[in-house]
Structure 1
Amino acid sequence: MTVPIERLRNFGIVAHIDAGKTTVSERILFYSGREHRMGEVHEGTAVMDWMPEEQERGITITAAATYVPWRDCELQLIDTPGHVDFTAEVERSMRVLDGCVVVFCGVAGVQAQSETVWRQADKFRVPRLVFVNKLDRPGADFERVVSDIEKRLRARVVPLQWPIGQEKEFSGVVDLVRLKAWRWDEDDQGAHPIEIPLPEQLETEIEIARGRLLEAAAEADESLLERYLEGAELPNDEIVAGLRKATISGAIVPVLCGSALRNRGIQPLLDAVVDYLPSPIEVPPVEAMVIGGKKDGETVRIEPDPEMPFCGLVFKIATDKHGDLSFVRVYAGSLRSSDQLYNSREKKVERVGQILRMHANAREQIESAGAGAIIALPGLRYTRTGDTLYEKSRPVSLESLTFPEPVISMTVEPVSSGDRDKLLDVLKRLEREDPTFRSSENEETGELLMSGMGELHLEVLRNRISRDFRVEVRSGKPRVAYRETVSRPAARESVVERALGNRNVHGHVRLRVVPAAEVARVEVLWMAPAEQIPRVHQQAIVDALKAEASSGPICSYPVVNVRIAVEGGSVREGESHEGAYCQAAIQALREALQEAGPVLLEPIMRFEVQSPADYLGSIQGDLNSRRAVIQDMVVEGDLRILKGTVPIGEMFGYSTAVRSLSQGRASFGMEPDRYSPVPADRMPNLGY
């Protein structure tokens, strides 16, 4: 970090797919001087979309970090994906950001993934700016989009700019704070905004919008409010200070506008990032839990002080043929090469080699990093996403990251049988990188299964296996990632007595299974007295139960929402044996799950379809045939927005279907909602 922490801005750019988010990022790189050539998504030359898969598809798949200078500040930027299949990339980025810019299409307005990223920003209390993009497009309407954000996202938005013209007439913006107007010249790629007179035809709009802006600024400061109510002229720097205070507190969301593709409006957006988004010392300190010692379990605040012991959160791991990179947000302290850190989960030492700053996929080695920095560390042996790294002098654990469970699966196998072990290794590496990806192997058939968040997610990972890791594979069709649970409590016990070599061994376990909606997967409670089951065998029995619960009694899908209580057993002097106890526990669990009314669960998705009114009937009919429950319909002019829930198993190939039904004019988005029991009349269709 080359600037004082108060001049640092950590922010991300988030949006629904195709709102122009990466084009905004590319213009930021160009106008800040970080890149000397303007990257274009449609040409496959975007710097931030560096993966071949991203360049071919024209979409962002993985969050990419960089840093740029602007004015006297340093901006650390993370460009995130917009497609719902990669929403975990947004989630983990949002966790470590101090602010964000939410990009909206000036034509489409609020879309399905717009709502998702807004909720993610709310979850982590991230201050934000709005950039209404694509105002040069046919159908663009700045006021409608602002109203849409207010109504659908329940936000108090305050325009800081007003567009000069819209659609093909869009030529510039009015700065409502300083009452200046700007246009951009295409001859120099918009590098130098040109000041022009305030448009007389916008006099009324400017007066009303500036009034809202002044009111919002004044409400954040009592002395400013008094002068505002007295009708006094407010200095621009005090207006900016009031708006900054209101933005950081979450009271308002400032709105800017432009057209990134036409090189209009990016420099004022960068100014707004500096003026209104917080530095690391202006957001509440993160909280951590003390590990060990007299204060074990106590909550402490981690102040962003470079003189304090180091504390950082690993929010992302990237893997390729060269190895793993652990992306770390530094919350306190400083780090130098050769330092030793401890991992909160494994309690093991990690030795720091190189310290890297990333510019998309380009690496820059630095000597040290302090509080507020976003860095990458290669070669960490034990670290996983969500782990805390800390100095020995202050052992703490930050709140980890949580991710949704996979909802679809497909089989995968190597083209060459000799590549099987290599494929298994690659799948495990991808699991480490992507917390929403799972791989498994059927012990009976040897079938390999990869599971993820959607068809595109699995397709991208399959292509990466071939392209990045040089393992040619074949894959099956996507299928639903079902889960299993129980509907009632049940108790069972099992005794294992057998000869092992020249001795008899004994194991006896008594347990109970209980439905537990609050438990994400399976939780094992140890209630057995030490005189009934030796404590030395406890961890092995718990591990055996969790492994067995990965294959349920109906059709071998993982068991979820179940609590297993190990209540007791018995000891036989000289014959008690760990393997026998594990075998008894497994047998008791199998019988208890069968007795507890097992239920097959299917993933249910929240969906949103936006369509012109002319196609509404056919789209509704198609959704009904897919077992969709339509919960709401919003009318916005000729646009109809359908919201509801639907089983994901009914939505394979829906992108093609909805395009066909609407002649390409409808769009849709989905995100995981919950797991729900499969209706009894559907079970025969599934072969059960």
Structure 2
Amino acid sequence: MHMLNLGILAHVDAGKTSLTERLLHTAGVIDEIGSVDAGSTTTDTLALERRRGITIKSAVVSFPLDTVTVNLLDTPGHPDFIAEVERVLGVLDGAVLVVSAVEGVQAQTRVLMRTLRRLGIPTLVFVNKIDRRGARGEALLRNMARTLAVPLVPMGAAAEPGTPAAHFVPGLAPSALDALTDHDDDLLAAYVNGRLTDARLRGALAEQTAKALVHPVYFGSALTGTGVPDLIDGVERLLPAAVGTADGPLSGTVFKVERGPAGEKIAYARIFSGTLRVRDRIPVGDGREEGRVTALGVFDRGTDRRADAAGAGRIARVWGLGGIRIGDALGSPGRVGEHHFAPPTLESVVVPRPGTDRGRLHLALTQLAEQDPLIGVRHDEVRQETSVSLYGEVQKEVVQATLADEYDLDVTFRETTTLCVERPAGTGRAVEFNKKDGNPFLATVGLRVEEAPPGSGVRFGLEVELGSMPYAFFKAVEDTVRETLGQGLHGWQVTDCAVTMTHSGYSPRQSHAHQGFDKSMSSTGYDFRCLTPLVLVEALRRAGSRVYEPVHRFRVDAPADTLGALLPLLTRSLAVPRTTWTRGDTCVLEGTVPAARVHALGQRLPGLTRGEGELESAFDHYAPVTGATPPERPRTDHNPLDRKEYLLNVTRRTADGDN
């Protein structure tokens, strides 16, 4: 039977997890539908998820249909957990985007649809909650077409929306033909010539849906079940099954890591080709180590079961790969895990309560970072502080509750601050020669630092012959460059820069007669790792650097008569409106605003708009920080900006031999 890996995505509270429960019940996998409010759903397994009534971690559950077995991935809807959604997108064959018939298209709905379109993921739309008071049918469909700006194909209509008797009436809407003929001239010709058959029309629908050219829309209710059988039929007929051969070379991608009851690491991996078997030894990630699979689990009829093998198209739980990380490839790379959403732009220091074991806290945060690499744990040995990267305040509350519930650690957080970056302002060069001019290390390193295009990250290159010294020394320099650029002249991560090695040199291996290797006369990787930060920061100092803060693009929908109160608020928030227009009695403002101001803007908006204002924001770009003094971030390294302090920390002596 074919496999289909299906994602369920939505803005928070659209009814995504409830729809998952209804799908499992309709497919005969569960006998009783769980409740989000009661904390009894199948996919929200964390105690914190059940208590808060939101999805925090992606979950996998399987159910069979007539011709395909569906691995359904339930994802978080709250924007603070967008990283969980990002990791799932790379393993999907198709998706269902859930929209509330009451609230309609919301901020996260637009973000998700844009991303699904960009990635070309075939997507069905399910309008949920048609039985709720205030639910809309045809009016909502028109609103969706305008706000999502994608080709929608209504697969029927909502009858009696907004009442307990609401139900779905199947039937391809007349407007479907317009959407389909936009992408198929032959279909248009068949219609004009009177030769268009129902079979030809539905064939075009399946073909265009599979190519993500159009998006069929179903109406229904996860609570009553109306429309859900039709959605299931669409999943089976319109979404493409997984491709890949079980006999090919192994290729898979890890999209989730969790810890088992005994603390063992369990990886969730999508297998794109080949077959993964118990006892297989496979290269992990970039080949940095080889792992041995000790156990496998696959998903089947609402649960997971142990298996000896997992073939192409499967999602497997994998035991035994101790060094595995999210985004790692199993075997040859599958779909490379590019970033679909912006990284976190906020940071907060974790403050342990008196008596809290700091060692246990550091271990716990490290394990949380395994499950969510974008948490970005950063430890300051000097101040004995640990900070984490965040998307928002809700995520901070969840991290705090997780530490309390799962690790019995009582912590608070300091006020959230904005994560800035640094970029070189020009070009700088520096070089230090082996054992000359106060260089205590047996190494020669010369580096040039220059600015690179925005978004290019860090590039490292060579202007010296690769054979001029052992490759391990070049690797030590490159790795240290990337690590050192984690903290620039002002303490922020340096990005969008090119670093070129311009000089190299080393002392060959020396031995005394009748004795072994003498490392006091021979270069080691340690010499290059210690010298590189000094050279790099000097080159960066000569280039200069500027601090950039994250800037979000925003959209505010609010009653038109509140525009007068909104504009002063936007001015105080340092927002720059780019476009403003009125649609009926609603005004829409779009522009940019510093990320540091988004939270306060969202808090003030309801009070100025009678609770009707809606703010959508997403990272857009980094902009130079204005003002005479750029913000500083405390350093957590040995501070190569201060040569004497650095050498005291690294070598326990200064270059002239003083203790």
Give the TM-score normalised by the residue count of structure 1. 0.82
Match of 1:539 among 475, 486, 500: 475
Contact 2:161 2:167 in 1 (8 A): no
In structure 2, what is the Cα distance between the partners aligned to 1:639 and 1:61?
Answer: 33
1:499: Cα distance to partner?
A: 12
Unaligned 5+ segments in structure 2 are: 511-520, 635-659
Question: Which residue in 1 is equivalent to 2:318?
Answer: 377
1:171: Cα distance to partner?
A: 2.1
Question: Which residue in 2 is equivalent to 1:299?
Answer: none
In structure 2, what is the Cα distance between the partners aligned to 1:593 and 1:142?
Answer: 59
Question: Which residue in 1 is equivalent to 2:453?
Answer: 517
In structure 2, what is the Cα distance between the partners aligned to 1:79 and 1:404?
Answer: 21
The alignment partner of 1:97 has SS state of coil
Match of 1:457 among 392, 395, 401: 395
Question: Which residue in 1 is equivalent to 2:144?
Answer: 149
Distance 1:324 1:631, change over 3 A: farther
Distance 1:429 1:99, change over 3 A: same
Q: What value does the CA root-mean-square deviation take over the aligned residues?
A: 3.1
Task: Figure out how many residues of one structure are paired with residues of the other and give that number.
Answer: 620
1:264 aligns with 2:226: yes
1:664 aligns with 2:611: yes
The alignment partner of 2:357 has SS state of helix
Match of 2:405 among 460, 467, 473: 467
Aligned-residue identity in percent = 29
1:169: Cα distance to partner?
A: 7.5
Match of 2:462 among 508, 523, 526: 526
1:216: Cα distance to partner?
A: 5.6
Question: Which residue in 2 is equivalent to 1:327?
Answer: 268
Aligned AA (1:168)? T
The 5 A counterparts of 1:284-683 are 304-319=244-259, 322-358=263-299, 363-390=304-331, 395=332, 398-402=335-339, 404-415=342-353, 419-495=357-433, 497=435, 506-518=442-454, 520-529=456-465, 535-554=471-490, 556-571=491-506, 575=521, 577-578=523-524, 579-680=526-627, 683=630
The alignment partner of 1:468 has SS state of helix
Summarize deviations over 1:288-340 as a string: whole Å, max 9, x none.
xxxxxxxxxxxxxxxx1122233211122234653322111111223333333
Question: Which residue in 2 is equivalent to 1:231?
Answer: 194
1:476: Cα distance to partner?
A: 1.4
The 5 A counterparts of 1:192-207 are none
Question: Which residue in 2 is equivalent to 1:298?
Answer: none
1:172: Cα distance to partner?
A: 1.8
Aligned AA (1:577)? S
Summarize deviations over 1:135-171 as a string: whole Å, max 9, x none.
3344433333333333333321111111213323862
In structure 1, what is the Cα distance between the partners aligned to 2:502 and 2:250?
Answer: 42
Contact 1:498 1:506 in 2 (8 A): no
In structure 2, what is the Cα distance between the partners aligned to 1:588 and 1:499?
Answer: 13
Deviates more, 1:212-221 or 1:534-543: 212-221
Distance 1:315 1:81, change over 3 A: same
Distance 1:172 1:564, change over 3 A: same
Contact 1:409 1:449 in 2 (8 A): yes
In structure 2, what is the Cα distance between the partners aligned to 1:535 and 1:335?
Answer: 34
Aligned AA (1:327)? Y
Question: Which residue in 1 is equivalent to 2:6?
Answer: 11
Question: Which residue in 2 is equivalent to 1:24?
Answer: 19
Contact 2:431 2:447 in 1 (8 A): yes
The 5 A counterparts of 1:214-229 are 214=177, 228-229=191-192
Question: Which residue in 1 is equivalent to 2:637?
Answer: none
Distance 1:665 1:52, change over 3 A: farther
Distance 1:655 1:61, change over 3 A: farther
The alignment partner of 2:37 has SS state of coil
Contact 2:30 2:302 in 1 (8 A): no
Aligned AA (1:241)? G
Summarize deviations over 1:652-680 as a string: whole Å, max 9, x none.
34443223333433332332222221112
Contact 2:63 2:301 in 1 (8 A): no
Question: Which residue in 2 is equivalent to 1:47?
Answer: 42
In structure 2, what is the Cα distance between the partners aligned to 1:627 and 1:147?
Answer: 34
In structure 1, what is the Cα distance between the partners aligned to 2:602 and 2:386?
Answer: 27
The 5 A counterparts of 1:66-77 are 66-77=61-72
Match of 2:216 among 239, 250, 254: 254
In structure 2, what is the Cα distance between the partners aligned to 1:608 and 1:315?
Answer: 31
In structure 1, what is the Cα distance between the partners aligned to 2:59 and 2:300?
Answer: 8
Contact 2:547 2:631 in 1 (8 A): no
Aligned AA (2:416)? P
Summarize deviations over 1:339-360 as a string: whole Å, max 9, x none.
3332241353322222223589
Aligned AA (2:465)? P
1:274: Cα distance to partner?
A: 0.9
In structure 1, what is the Cα distance between the partners aligned to 2:184 and 2:478?
Answer: 57
The alignment partner of 1:616 has SS state of helix
Summarize deviations over 1:77-123 as a string: whole Å, max 9, x none.
11111222211222221211111111122233322211211122123
The alignment partner of 1:551 has SS state of coil
Summarize deviations over 1:613-654 as a string: whole Å, max 9, x none.
343332332222111122234544333333322112123344
Contact 1:524 1:564 in 2 (8 A): yes
Distance 1:541 1:663, change over 3 A: same
In structure 2, what is the Cα distance between the partners aligned to 1:660 and 1:504?
Answer: 63
The 5 A counterparts of 1:122-141 are 122-141=117-136
Contact 2:492 2:633 in 1 (8 A): no
Aligned AA (1:585)? T
1:424: Cα distance to partner?
A: 1.6
Give the TM-score normalised by the residue count of structure 2. 0.86
1:9: Cα distance to partner?
A: 2.5
Contact 1:218 1:228 in 2 (8 A): no
Aligned AA (1:93)? V
Contact 2:345 2:418 in 1 (8 A): yes
Contact 2:285 2:329 in 1 (8 A): yes
Deviates more, 1:542-551 or 1:524-533: 524-533
The alignment partner of 2:111 has SS state of helix
1:84 aligns with 2:79: yes
In structure 1, what is the Cα distance between the partners aligned to 2:455 and 2:183?
Answer: 42
In structure 1, what is the Cα distance between the partners aligned to 2:107 and 2:464?
Answer: 49
Distance 1:243 1:459, change over 3 A: same
Distance 1:360 1:568, change over 3 A: farther
In structure 1, what is the Cα distance between the partners aligned to 2:603 and 2:181?
Answer: 51
Distance 1:26 1:220, change over 3 A: same
Contact 1:48 1:360 in 2 (8 A): no
In structure 2, what is the Cα distance between the partners aligned to 1:112 and 1:360?
Answer: 34
Deviates more, 1:585-594 or 1:363-372: 363-372
1:99 aligns with 2:94: yes
Aligned AA (1:17)? V
Aligned AA (1:152)? T
